[in-house]
């Protein structure tokens, strides 16, 4: 894209310098983070429900399991920080990991609070209610999280395709038939590269 620098940037009232603006489109592939971070954190946080299978009369065992899962989540968080870019704001992935850690903390806190209820029947009822509440909250959050993520990605991909289409149209106007021939050659190379290799099975 060819533009002219305004006087504000040239530093001179009588001289105007031409310059070039280069634009590029890039999207991060989310597959690695989905399989190696989100899936693992989902498994770790969902195991918190298994602590309710332990007898309420053994709170020390419940708390031991809950603390183990919480510390596992914290350790995993430190490990994932080494693979993620150091930025000053929270990404959607960071928010998801923090949610899982907070969820494990809430389950752990409940196992400590339930011991304060003296009546056994009341304790059993509240324990069941909180189990159902945690399960509903956990399910609703994941539905909301995945819905927002898919919606955001859909519109992002749509925006990228629109900009790519505008770029192709502008390039065809500038270069004409030579650009179409070059585009066809590139498309053929991509189709050939996409073919399965004879030796890929080995």
Residue 8 has pLDDT above 80, yes or no: no
> Is 50 within 8 Å of 43 (Cβ atoms)?
no
Which tens digits make up the pLDDT trace of 90-142? Answer: 888 889 999 999 999 999 999 999 999 989 999 999 999 999 999 999 999 99
In a domain, 99, yes or no: yes
State the pLDDT at residue 87: 82
How far apart, in whole angstroms, are the C-alpha atoms of residue 103 and residue 46? 9
Residue 202 has pLDDT above 50, yes or no: no
In a domain, 93, yes or no: yes
Say if residue 10 is exposed, middle or buried (CB neighbours under 10 Å; 0-12, 13-18, 19+). middle
In a domain, 187, yes or no: no
In a domain, 22, yes or no: no
- Cα Rg, the chain, nearest whole Å: 28
pTM reported for the whole predicted model: 0.72
In a domain, 85, yes or no: yes
Read off φ and ψ for residue 28, nearest 5 degrees.
-80, 135
Q: What is the number of structural domains in the chain?
A: 1
Here the tokens at position 28 are: 């991060």
Domain extent for 77: 57-134
User: Residue 200's pLDDT band (boundaries 50, 70, 90)?
Assistant: very low
In a domain, 73, yes or no: yes
**β-strand partners of 4:** 18
In a domain, 114, yes or no: yes
User: Residue 201's pLDDT band (boundaries 50, 70, 90)?
Assistant: very low
Identify the three-state secondary structure at position 130. Answer: helix
Which tens digits make up the pLDDT trace of 138-166? Answer: 999 999 999 998 998 888 888 888 888 88
Query: CB pairs under 8 A, 24+ apart, for 56-59?
Result: 56/114, 56/123, 56/124, 56/127, 59/111, 59/112, 59/114, 59/115
Q: Which residue has better confidence, 192 or 70? A: 70
State the pLDDT at residue 101: 93
In a domain, 71, yes or no: yes
CA distances from 108 to 1, 111, 150 (A): 58, 5, 31
Which tens digits make up the pLDDT trace of 42-85? Answer: 999 999 999 999 998 899 999 999 999 999 999 998 888 887 77
């Amino acid at each position: 894209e060819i533009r002219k620098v305004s006087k504000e940037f040239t530093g001179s009232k009588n001289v105007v310098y031409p310059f070039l603006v280069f634009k590029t489109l890039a999207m991060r592939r989310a597959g690695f983070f989905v399989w190696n971070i989100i899936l693992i954190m989902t498994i770790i946080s969902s195991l918190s429900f298994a602590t309710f299978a332990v007898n309420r009369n053994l709170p020390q065992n419940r708390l031991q399991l809950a603390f183990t899962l919480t510390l596992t989540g914290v350790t995993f968080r430190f490990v994932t920080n080494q693979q993620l870019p150091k930025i000053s704001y929270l990404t959607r992935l960071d928010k998801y990991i923090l949610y899982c850690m907070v969820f494990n903390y809430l389950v752990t806190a409940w196992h400590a609070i339930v011991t304060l209820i003296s009546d056994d029947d009341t304790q059993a009822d509240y324990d069941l209610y909180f189990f159902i509440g945690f399960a509903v909250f956990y399910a609703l959050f994941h539905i909301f999280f995945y819905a927002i993520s898919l919606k955001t990605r859909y519109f992002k991909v749509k925006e990228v395709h629109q900009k790519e289409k505008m770029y192709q149209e502008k390039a065809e106007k500038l270069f004409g038939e030579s650009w179409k021939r070059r585009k066809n050659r590139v498309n053929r190379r991509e189709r050939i590269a996409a073919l399965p290799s004879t030796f890929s099975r080995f």
